[in-house]
Chains A and B, each alone.
Chain A
Amino acid sequence: EVQLVESGGGLVQPGGSLRLSCAASGFTLRDNWISWVRQAPGKGLEWVASLQYDVSGKYYVDSVKGRFTISSDSAKNSVSLQMNSLRAEDTAVYYCARSLFGAFDFRGQGTMVTVSS
């Protein structure tokens, strides 16, 4: 069974850092695009970042450029999102998703990030 398990969320103060992880099972991340999508409380979906696993292509929404870094760990079959200089507006549930045919296949429950003092 295909699964994506997000972890690493929590409560952090403004300006702080968190590292989210997305562990895949049931398929190999190699040759896949993996993305992070977030959803602020009561709001819609927002694409955050994408990584083309074996081609090192990385893309970010403007609001996180220079603060967030998406990376892969082939040994662990996982993708990480390093989030620095966190702001209140980064508070959201963060989902990882794999791209299939140019669409997002979500397989996890997400991980909550709360930025607050």
Chain B
Amino acid sequence: DIVMTQTPPSSPVTLGRPASISCRSSQSLVHSDGNTYLSWLQQRPGQPPRLLIYQISKRFSGVPDRFSGSGAGTDFTLEISRVEAEDVGIYYCMQATQFPLTFGGGTKVEIK
């Protein structure tokens, strides 16, 4: 199974400042079709998860452009350029390159 490791587990940030979350996979997420199925989800308190980024860096419909994804192979990053109050929640990375599909443990973003 592919293990997804997120750091940090918690990220206190100041409003308007950037935040960065790292996700590392135990093996390459490059699929045989050439795509890399690494995505990022946001879960606000009391809400279901919401898709933010798919295939490393592609923003899903309606996602603000302050969210961006980058990386390749086994190392990936989600960045929020300027954190807003509505960004508070837990962020998960997920791989869909290989079954079983696996999630990172989550990173809690909170306001200082």
Q: Is the CB of A44 within 8 A of B103?
A: yes
Q: Is the CB of A62 within 8 A of B49?
A: no
Cα–Cα distance between A109 and B46 once the two chains are bound (Å): 10
B37-96 contacts to A, CB under 8 A, are 37, 39, 41, 43, 48-51, 53-55, 58, 60, 90, 92, 94, 96
- Chain B residues within 8 Å of A99, by CB: 96
- Chain B residues within 8 Å of A45, by CB: 41, 43, 49, 92, 94, 103, 106
B102 on the A face (CB < 8 A): yes
A20-74 contacts to B, CB under 8 A, are 35, 37, 44-47, 50, 59, 61-62
Contact among A59, A101, A104 for B49, CB-based, below 8 A: A104
Q: Is the CB of A102 within 8 A of B55?
A: yes
- Chain B residues within 8 Å of A109, by CB: 48
**Min C-beta distance of B21 to chain A, whole Å:** 14
Cα–Cα distance between A101 and B96 once the two chains are bound (Å): 10
Q: Is the CB of A108 within 8 A of B55?
A: no
Given known pairs A101-B55, A103-B60, the reply for A44 and B92 (CB within 8 Å) is yes
Given known pairs A95-B49, A108-B48, A110-B48, the reply for A102 and B92 (CB within 8 Å) is no
Cα–Cα distance between A61 and B101 once the two chains are bound (Å): 8
**Min C-beta distance of B89 to chain A, whole Å:** 13
- Chain A residues within 8 Å of B100, by CB: 47, 59, 61-62
A72-117 contacts to B, CB under 8 A, are 95, 97, 99-106, 108-110
Residue on B nearest A108 in the bound complex, by CB: B48
Among A59, A61, A102, A104, chain B packs the most CB atoms within 10 A around the CB of A102
Q: Is the CB of A103 within 8 A of B94?
A: yes
Chain A to chain B contacts (Cβ below 8 Å), 17 pairs: A37-B49, A45-B41, A45-B94, A47-B101, A59-B99, A95-B49, A101-B54, A102-B35, A102-B39, A102-B54, A103-B39, A104-B39, A104-B41, A104-B49, A104-B51, A105-B60, A106-B50
Further 6 A-B residue pairs, CB within 8 A, beyond A45-B41, A102-B55, A102-B96: A50-B99, A50-B101, A99-B96, A103-B94, A105-B51, A105-B60
